[in-house]
Structure formats: C-alpha cells, structure tokens
Structure 1
Amino acid sequence: MDLFSHSWAALRTAVAGLSDEDFERPSGCAGWLVRDLACHLVIDAQDVLITLVTPADTAPTVDAATYWELVEPPTGDDPLDALMPRLAAAYGEPWLLKFHLDDVGSAAGRAAALADPAARVATKDQVLTVADYLSAYVIEWTLHHLDLIAHLPEAAGPSAGSLAAARGLLERIAGARFPASFPDADALLVGTGRRPPTEAERAALGELTGRLPFVLG
C-alpha cells in the first residue's frame, strides 16, 4: 500500500510539473498525447475511488497478479481509446486538466491511505482485498509514468522501488522472468511492447521474444 501511495504521488507530481507545451507532446501510449494520458489518469483515479467504496462480502477471486488479464495489443478501434482524446481536448486549457487530476487524484490517494488493507472490494466482476487491489495499481502508475516521460527527457521518472515492484508483478502476471541483464525500466518497456527489443535484447530474451508483448487488460 505504501508503494501505491508513493508511485501515485510521484506520477501526479510529474504531471503537475509539466508545461502547457508538454501536454501537446506524444506520450508512450500509441495515439495519445500527454494530455490524453493525463485525462486517462483522471478516469483511473475515479475507478480507484469507486472500487474502494464498493465492499464485497465474498471470498477473493483474484490477487494483485491475477487481477490483470493478458489481452491482444490495441488496434486503435476501441471506442474508449478513441474517446480519451476528445475528453482531453474538452478541457481546453492544460491547467484545468491539472486541477482536475490533482483534485480527484488527491482524493484517491487519501482514500487508499485510509482503507483497511484486509477489506474486500469488488471491481470488474472480481473480488480482492484492498491490499491486492492497490498493489495491482502500482504497475498501472509505473507504466503510465514511463509513458508520460517517453518524450520528456527532463521529467523525473518512477522511483527504483516502483520500477522493481512493477517488474516483479509483470513477471508474475506473465509467468516469465526477464533476463537479469535487463534494467527494470527496459523490462517493462520491452515486456509491454512500448518499444521493440534491440538485437542484443532479443538474443537475451530467447524464446520469450515470441510471447511479447504482454498487454494488460
């Protein structure tokens, strides 16, 4: 739960530090500008708030790893993916998007800090503990932090702890280990298809190359 709070606060701080021009740069999410990604984070924060106030009285059906499913890479035809740029553009000025993310995002962070880790919540037709739910989101925040700074070399990236935790969770989800020679950020970027592996990386990955990318849904 501490990693959730840390990774989420770091991501929101990174967005808050962006210039207006930065919002018009491409992000690491194919087809999305930085402003579209920031708008997606508002939706994510709303999802966290909704889930934390949706208690369940049945046994958990998933944990932090099995909460995620491996899905086919996006094709650009998903109506929800296409909706995000329109929602982001509706904000007009970047400061409005920053304000909304800070407002809703801070509330999600407070709700997470106040939640009982052992409590059970329901989301996506699944039940899991609050601790597992928040742990599952560490990979979401970390990957999107990498997406945010993909074309912003001056921006601060995720912490080493967040990167290591996200890598470990991705390996659990995929049931595979990345070579020890891969830095955590590269394991996440290559593993989720955010960039293609180099020839050297492809050789190190071996048969695992044929299973890439691991896209979470």
Structure 2
Amino acid sequence: MTIAPADTRPPADVLRAAYTAFADVVRPLGDEESWRSTGCTGWAVRDLILHCVTDCQRALVALHTPATGPPDRDAVTYWRDWRPDPVGAANGRRWIRVGASMFLDFGQLRELYLETAAATVTAAAATAPDRLVATQGHVLTAGDLMTTLAVEAAIHHLDLVVELPDAPGPSPAGLAAVRATLDGLLGRPVPLAWSDEHYARAATGRVPLTEAERRSLGADAERVPLFS
C-alpha cells in the first residue's frame, strides 16, 4: 500500500531543501570535525560525506539515463529492496572508509560534496518529474527518484549531526518525505506520537523500540526496521 506524501511541493524543491540543509552542515566543517562519529556504524563524518557524494553521483547518472516503462518502483516501494544485510553493509562500510581515507585534505572532500550536490539539484530542477529513469536495476519516475534522494539525505543528515550539537537539523520538507515514505511502507500512519526525527531513527533501526512502542505497533513491530 502506497500512501501519498502530504507535502505537495514539486519533488525537485523537496530535494533542493534536503540537500541545501545537508550542505549547510558540511560547509563549515574542518578536519577535526570530520573525524567525529556519526549515526552510521563504523563511519566518521568524512566517511558519511563520501557516501553522500556517491548518492549524488548516482542521481546524476539516473537523471541522464532515460528508461522505457512501465515503472516497477515508486518513491515508497523503492525502499522494499533495502533490508538489513550484515555482509553487504560490512563490505559497504569498508569500501567507503578506504575511499575517504584517500582524501588527505578534508577540504577537498568537502568541496567535492558541495559541488556535486549543487549539480544534482540543478539537474533535478531541469528534469520533468514524470520522465522515466533507471537506477539500481529499477525504473521509476524522475520525481519519485528525487523523493528517494531527499529521504536518504534527510536520514543521513540525522546521522551526520550525532556529534555536531550546534549543527542545524534536516529540512522540514525532507523529514516530511521521510514520514510519508515510512507510513507508506508501514501501510498506515504510525500509531505513535513520534517526532519526525524519532520516527526516522526508530523505523530505520537507528534506535531500538521500547516495549511500550512495540505494544503500540503490534505485529508491525516485527517489521522494523522498515528499511536500513
């Protein structure tokens, strides 16, 4: 069951908001902050930033890779493939750590992210949201692709600022897209008075569910994390 996002703004605008908020955290960071821990197991700030560079690069490729239909994924069902995979996750962590370690000057990595994210936002704004594109073996509309990118950016924004207490938080538009996506995967609005931030963390396995939360979710508690 897919639940339509409550935010009616164009997907490119939601993506712009999510990426701009993330970039606002990255832009002032120095080498010392780049070594702080994040909400992603085994990754420092610099590792997570490199991972987000690869998200932007994938987005640029997808936005310039037209596909024939019909779509086999939308902004919600795209995430059904992203289930916990300990071996794959460990390999991915290792690959990113090695890659990030090649940047002896963190400023180069920081600028790579900022310029690549800006290019992604520009490309998204120039792409019709109903255009079909291909990414990761699936076909979806460009608008749905943009929404998935905004969702990932908003969740990783929460990961990024774990040890950056003075950093600004994710964009409200990005968090609204996360909530809509998680409700769509759950099949109903979550029956708990969770903030957008806590919902994002809890439903993706970043914080454990309490016993009271499990009781409220009922059988759906066994489906958490909804994606990781």
Q: Does 1:190 align with 2:196?
A: no
| Structure 1 spans left out of the alignment, 5+ residues | none
Given the superposition, is the C-alpha separation of residues 54 and 163 from structure 1 closer, same or farther in structure 2, using an over 3 Å criterion? same
Shift of 1:86: 0.7
The DSSP-based 3-state class of the residue aligned with 2:42 is coil
Given the superposition, is the C-alpha separation of residues 200 and 151 from structure 1 closer, same or farther in structure 2, using an over 3 Å criterion? farther
Aligned residue runs from structure 1 range 163-174, under 5 A: 163-174=175-186
Amino acid aligned to 1:10: A
Question: 1:30 corresponds to which residue?
Answer: 41
Question: 2:8 corresponds to which residue?
Answer: none
Given the superposition, is the C-alpha separation of residues 73 and 125 from structure 1 closer, same or farther in structure 2, using an over 3 Å criterion? closer
State how far apart, in whole Å, the 1-side matches of 2:215 and 2:152 are: 28
Aligned residue runs from structure 1 range 35-50, under 5 A: 35-50=46-61
Given the superposition, is the C-alpha separation of residues 183 and 197 from structure 1 closer, same or farther in structure 2, using an over 3 Å criterion? same
Q: Does 1:61 align with 2:68?
A: no
Aligned residue among 23, 40, 46 for 1:12: 23
What RMSD in Å do the two structures reach over aligned CA positions? 1.8
Question: 1:157 corresponds to which residue?
Answer: 169
Instruction: Determine if contact 2:154/2:174 at 8 Å carries over to the other structure.
Output: yes
| Structure 2 spans left out of the alignment, 5+ residues | 1-10
Aligned residue runs from structure 1 range 1-217, under 5 A: 1=11, 2-75=13-86, 78-216=90-228
State how far apart, in whole Å, the 2-side matches of 1:48 and 1:90 are: 23
After superposition, give the CA deviation of every residue in 1:78-115 in whole Å (9 maximum; x if it has no partner).
42321101101111121111011112111111111111
Given the superposition, is the C-alpha separation of residues 135 and 210 from structure 1 closer, same or farther in structure 2, using an over 3 Å criterion? same
State how far apart, in whole Å, the 2-side matches of 1:214 and 1:57 are: 29
Amino acid aligned to 1:12: A
After superposition, give the CA deviation of every residue in 1:129-170 in whole Å (9 maximum; x if it has no partner).
111111122210110001101222111111223212211112
Amino acid aligned to 1:125: G
When normalised by structure 2's length, the TM-score is: 0.87
When normalised by structure 1's length, the TM-score is: 0.92
Instruction: Determine if contact 1:27/1:148 at 8 Å carries over to the other structure.
Output: yes
Percent of pairs with identical residues: 36
The DSSP-based 3-state class of the residue aligned with 2:183 is helix
State how far apart, in whole Å, the 1-side matches of 2:196 and 2:186 are: 15
Q: How many residues align?
A: 216
